[in-house]
Structure 1
Amino acid sequence: MSYPESRIQRPVYWTQACQDLMQRDRILRKLIPLYRQECIQAHQGPYETLIRIIVGQQVSLALGRKLWHQLAQACGQDLNPDCILAHSESDLRAMGLSLRKAQYVRDAAQYFKQGDRLDPDWWQAQDDAAVMTQLCDIRGVGRWSAEMFLIFFLGRPDVLPLDDTALLKAISHHYFSGEPVSRFEAREVAQAWAPWRTVASWHLWRSMDAAAVEY
């Protein structure tokens, strides 16, 4: 089964979201103009996006990028389920993946290879919760991974990934003077961002990293 490439270039809602967020939030009023020439980007199809998300789970952005490039280099331009499944767990571990992450990558490849349960048209028609429920059937894909897929492949505008440590760190830095922040406190801050919580989250991520976040 073939899948369309991501259509996210500059989301149609991006400009309006930035304007609204700058009116509502004093921190974003300062941050958003710093990255006016940038926006969220997703260059991969759904399979590549999900594999890259799994590879990047629970590691720093820098390490996630390094592991992804190792994997992409091993498969060349043909990063598809068959390519991944042609590599054993030992092969994947030699590229730097942990044993569990190697297992998850192979499981995701097998899931996509079957194909009959993955329909991009269905994703587009469903709400966030329904898409997340389906994705979480894949071993190794939890709430965080599914939220990243909503953001970086489907381009959903109002996702708030409270399991993301980098986002919590950014909220702590900008809104709490570096003091630890709970999920409850982060959710309270984010109330003003709806229905553009994806856009707010991206700018906070961007403010804490030298390179734009991408999957």
Structure 2
Amino acid sequence: MSFSNDLKAAQKHLVDSDKVLAICIKKYGPCHLKPHQDHYSELVTSIIGQQLSTRAAAAIWRRVLDLSKGKPPTPQKLINVDEQTLRSAGLSRPKVSYVKDLAHHVIDGRLDMNLISKLPNDEIINQLTAVKGIGEWSAQMFMIFSLGRLNVLPVGDLGVRKAAMNLYDLGELPNPQTLQELSKKNGWQPYESIAAWYLWKSLNNAGVRTIKNT
């Protein structure tokens, strides 16, 4: 089954199982989630973008691309570039260490970018969070937006929590356990990523990584 057909199946499932999301799906239309192919660059840009606006992060990434003649830098290239050059491109000192640590993980095989899309979610999180500067939230965003994993519920995401509070009249921001119970009650599995996408969409920021933590 193609990914577009997976999305259609997910939307039908959520319409049938959750009256609240059914309204969202009718209002906002098809989910436009689309996996990316360059997983390594996605991880580099996710590190660069932490605690920054989308515009600022894009400007820094363009300067990083300039270091490799407009192409995404390879892991070896990032290791070879000295710290001051990366600092001049706009990376903070911690982020320089983070992208270099990521590059080392890829080069020495601790993180196999050719294999990562085939791993179960828990193993992906374990491998990614072993890299400096990548936390569980960043790993979950990578699985949803880069790998196109359909069943990831980012329970710590502020946007998901706010949307759930508003749509389900919870009265307060739900904690992770409450979100998991909400998912179970309303039958979001095996399409929790798509449920999250529509929760983001209800805040008019679908696809936006709503908190800039790691």
TM-score (norm. length: structure 1): 0.78
Q: Does residue 78 of structure 2 align to residue 84 of structure 1?
A: yes
Unmatched tracts of structure 2, length 5 or more: 210-214
SS in 2 for 1:43: coil
Question: Within 2, Cα distance between the matches of 1:156 and 1:164?
Answer: 17
Aligned positions of 1:20-169 closer than 5 A: 20-57=13-50, 59=51, 63-75=53-65, 76-115=70-109, 117-121=111-115, 123-124=117-118, 126-169=119-162
Q: How far is 1:118 from its partner?
A: 0.5
Question: Within 1, Cα distance between the matches of 2:59 and 2:111?
Answer: 28
- May I ask how many residue pairs the two structures share in their alignment? 202
Q: How far is 1:198 from its partner?
A: 0.6
Question: Within 2, Cα distance between the matches of 1:162 and 1:55?
Answer: 23
Give 1:196's match in structure 2, choosing from 191, 195, 212: 191
Unmatched tracts of structure 1, length 5 or more: 1-8
Contact 1:10–1:40 (8 Å) recurs in 2? no
Identity of aligned residues (%): 30
Q: Which whole-Å deviations, capped at 9, do the CAs of 1:160-196 have from their partners, x for residues lacking one?
A: 1112222212222322366322222222212221110
Partner of 1:6: none
Query: RMSD over aligned Cα, in angstroms?
Result: 2.8
Q: Which whole-Å deviations, capped at 9, do the CAs of 1:116-169 have from their partners, x for residues lacking one?
A: 741524641x32112222222212222112222222222221111112222212
Question: Within 2, Cα distance between the matches of 1:129 and 1:27?
Answer: 29
Question: Within 1, Cα distance between the matches of 2:32 and 2:39?
Answer: 19
Partner of 1:208: 203
Q: Which moved more, 1:82-91 or 1:155-164?
A: 82-91
Give 1:183's match in structure 2, choosing from 176, 194, 202: 176
Q: How far is 1:71 from its partner?
A: 1.6
Partner of 1:4: none
The one-letter amino acid of 1:32's match is I
The one-letter amino acid of 1:168's match is R
